[in-house]
Structure 1
Amino acid sequence: MVTPCPTSPVSPAARARRRDNDQNLRAPVKKSRRPRLRRKQPLQLLDPSPLPGDSGVCDLFESPSSGSDGADSPAASAARGCSPLPGPAQQLVTAESRCKLLSWLIPVHRQFGLSFESLCLTVNILDRFLTTTPVAADCFQLLGVTSLLIACKQVEVHPPRVKQLLALCCGAFSRQQLCNLECIVLHKLHFSLGAPTISFFLEHFTHARVEVRQAEVSQALEAQALARGVAELSLADYAFTSYTPSLLAICCLALADRLLQLPCPVDLRLGEHPEAALQDCLGKLQLLVAINGTSLTHMLPHQIYEKCSLPRSLK
């Protein structure tokens, strides 16, 4: 039988020392804190303070000089104060500046190999944002590439990278500025990015005329390609913003049939538009093509260009 060892009495001072040692050996317990509720801040616009010497839109399309890195270029200095809200010394966007921007964006979208739907959606996003927010001219080019990026994210499998788009602006804007403006555009449009475009209705009317056998498949595709070139010209012209995409599409197809001299032109009643609106839009498109016939020939595939004679057809 094992008997326990007798224990010696412990003094009160020894008990206190033992209690202190036990407390020192324990791991510190971290007190739980309640999550601090922070006030949600609304989307902030870019810095609205204008800088002296804000440039116009023409400066935005000029590349920096070959001997500088672009830090002192007029576009770069204006980009530091870029703001969609115009200040008292800033110049607002005009119809002429819109034409210049889109005339620059059209070759850009072709250089990236983007679809015509991406270009049409870019213009749609750009114009819808301009109806909600006044934009200063010194950041209009930034708005253009931002709208192109948003449209490509909706349509393209491989949209352009932000670095590539900023390089096209000759380093006038920063990545943070583009991201900030993208948030502003999405917020203003309430993230409603899908829209019926001229490209959509060109496809729709082309399939419709083939189904009712108004034209052969090859003829319909050639007319669609030519109508796409005419529609590109109309995108840059502010006068055509008052027409709906379906009206522009059917008129572009009708003009393309006339230029190609197809025996069975498209039925203008497919779009169910008033006759007066059709004739008004068609007349303006004829004038647009007559003025910009040389530019149109560079947009068309060679086989289609050989089949149509623009000056003779428009007489």
Structure 2
Amino acid sequence: MVTPGPTSPMSPAAWAGRRDARNLRAPVKKSRRPRLRRKQPLQPLNTSPLPGDSGVCDLFESPPSSGSDGADSPAARGCSHAPGAAQQLAQLDLQTFRDYGQSCYAFCKAREGHFHPRESLALQPQVTAESRCKLLSWLIPVHRQFGLSFESLCLTVNTLDRFLITTPVAADCFQLLGVTSLLIACKQVEVHPPRVKQLLALCCGAFSRQQLCNLECIVLHKLHFSLGAPTISFFLEHFTHARVEARQAEVSEALEAQALARGVAELSLADYAFTSYTPSLLAICCLALADRMLQLPRPMDLSLGGHPEEALQDCLGKLQLLVAINGTSLTHMLPLQIREKCCLSPSLK
């Protein structure tokens, strides 16, 4: 019989080293599977309309060409004063207007008095109506250069005037207030607002970044962060949808009148005399004047806004005088197709 000889007990450290030695294995190199390569390039998706009426197929269809490349780029929007035909038709979403148009209009109409600045220069010792006109006449081309929307311009003017009611502003800081109001408005509306560096460059380095940021905080504090004001831009779009829905105008006629009314409204924003009128009143009067200038067969129904006849005629008279004085500037602001159709009636000369 063979018996094992006596063995000495193994220390814990030696036992752990022996166990680790058994667990060590040589690394195994994984074999790479052959990569499948596509022999033919990808084919474009079929752009033919899909069956059914869900409308999903419309998302994959390319919009019709407007005749110029890069028309939707920011640079092109800054140079072009009117959207293309496809973009104009997209602005009239009649189904959304049927669902929410009247509710949005009633809400904005009830709130426009709260956001309407009256006599904004009454407590300003250094800012005058002439300096306000000069500043806004400078901001209007700036907003076009950046390709910003008309809504941004309207909010800029509203923010500027409402702040002037609350705080006296020195004459040498008035331009800084203008670009600050523009920045605040663009942050609400635009997807890509202008950078602070770009806005300061427009002021030729007269102000610092810290000054603009400090003034932005002051403006927001004075206005209690209440910035969603109903604007002329909103009411212009609402009345345009309303007249098309009521079959009072064709889509092309309504859009041309809206573009012309927007140009007249831009002129009124720079004139301090028009700050006494509410945005809804100005919008419907600008559309009525645009109908006259375009000589549309069915002019705008002034009773659509629910304003008194006296206020409508007073605002229309001042707008006629404004267009007569600034007719040359207005023609440069309009698209070529509307400029050719637009004519000043004898009452506007």
Name the TM-score, length of structure 1 as normaliser: 0.71
| C-alpha displacement of 1:37 | 65
CA contact (8 A) 1:50 1:87 kept: no
**Alpha-carbon distance in structure 2 between the residues aligned to 1:69 and 1:122:** 31
**Alpha-carbon distance in structure 1 between the residues aligned to 2:311 and 2:135:** 28
**Alpha-carbon distance in structure 1 between the residues aligned to 2:8 and 2:282:** 106
| C-alpha displacement of 1:309 | 1.4
Bigger Cα displacement from structure 2, 32-41 vs 282-291: 32-41
**Alpha-carbon distance in structure 2 between the residues aligned to 1:266 and 1:188:** 39
| C-alpha displacement of 1:308 | 1.0
Unaligned runs of 5+ in 2: 89-126
**Alpha-carbon distance in structure 1 between the residues aligned to 2:54 and 2:209:** 20
| C-alpha displacement of 1:230 | 0.1
SS in structure 2 at match of 1:89: helix
**Alpha-carbon distance in structure 2 between the residues aligned to 1:245 and 1:143:** 22
Distance 1:134 1:259, change over 3 A: same
| C-alpha displacement of 1:310 | 2.4
Distance 1:101 1:71, change over 3 A: farther
How big is each residue's C-alpha offset from its partner over 1:201-239, in whole Å with a ceiling of 9 and x where there is no partner? 000000000000000000000000000000000000000
CA contact (8 A) 1:47 1:83 kept: no
**Alpha-carbon distance in structure 2 between the residues aligned to 1:69 and 1:143:** 37
Within 5 Å, give how 1:82-231 maps onto structure 2: 93-231=127-265
| C-alpha displacement of 1:11 | 37
Corresponding position of 1:266: 300
| C-alpha displacement of 1:196 | 0.3
Distance 1:79 1:310, change over 3 A: closer
| C-alpha displacement of 1:5 | 33
| C-alpha displacement of 1:136 | 0.7
How big is each residue's C-alpha offset from its partner over 1:143-202, in whole Å with a ceiling of 9 and x where there is no partner? 000000000000000000000000000000000000000000000000011010000000
Bigger Cα displacement from structure 2, 122-131 vs 38-47: 38-47
Distance 1:274 1:25, change over 3 A: farther
Distance 1:201 1:248, change over 3 A: same
**Alpha-carbon distance in structure 1 between the residues aligned to 2:290 and 2:68:** 47
| C-alpha displacement of 1:70 | 36
How big is each residue's C-alpha offset from its partner over 1:93-152, in whole Å with a ceiling of 9 and x where there is no partner? 111100000000000000000000000000000000001111111100000000000000
Corresponding position of 1:37: 36
CA contact (8 A) 2:280 2:305 kept: yes
CA contact (8 A) 2:66 2:86 kept: no
SS in structure 1 at match of 2:86: coil
**Alpha-carbon distance in structure 2 between the residues aligned to 1:31 and 1:204:** 67
CA contact (8 A) 1:85 1:134 kept: no
Distance 1:159 1:83, change over 3 A: closer
**Alpha-carbon distance in structure 2 between the residues aligned to 1:183 and 1:88:** 41
CA contact (8 A) 2:154 2:231 kept: yes
Bigger Cα displacement from structure 2, 30-39 vs 164-173: 30-39
SS in structure 2 at match of 1:36: coil
Distance 1:261 1:43, change over 3 A: same
Corresponding position of 2:117: none
Identity fraction in percent: 91
CA contact (8 A) 1:226 1:256 kept: yes
CA contact (8 A) 2:70 2:76 kept: no
How big is each residue's C-alpha offset from its partner over 1:24-43, in whole Å with a ceiling of 9 and x where there is no partner? 99999999999999999999
Distance 1:82 1:39, change over 3 A: farther
CA contact (8 A) 2:281 2:305 kept: yes
Distance 1:186 1:254, change over 3 A: same
Within 5 Å, give how 1:18-97 maps onto structure 2: 93-97=127-131
Unaligned runs of 5+ in 1: none
How big is each residue's C-alpha offset from its partner over 1:57-90, in whole Å with a ceiling of 9 and x where there is no partner? 999999999999999999xxx9999999999999
Corresponding position of 2:100: none
Distance 1:158 1:86, change over 3 A: closer
Distance 1:258 1:142, change over 3 A: same
Distance 1:6 1:296, change over 3 A: same
Distance 1:256 1:48, change over 3 A: closer
**Alpha-carbon distance in structure 2 between the residues aligned to 1:250 and 1:169:** 35
SS in structure 1 at match of 2:248: coil
CA contact (8 A) 2:285 2:315 kept: yes
| C-alpha displacement of 1:250 | 0.2
Distance 1:219 1:272, change over 3 A: same
How many residues are treated as equivalent by the alignment?
A: 310
**Alpha-carbon distance in structure 2 between the residues aligned to 1:208 and 1:264:** 14
| C-alpha displacement of 1:281 | 0.2
**Alpha-carbon distance in structure 1 between the residues aligned to 2:84 and 2:72:** 22
Distance 1:217 1:40, change over 3 A: closer
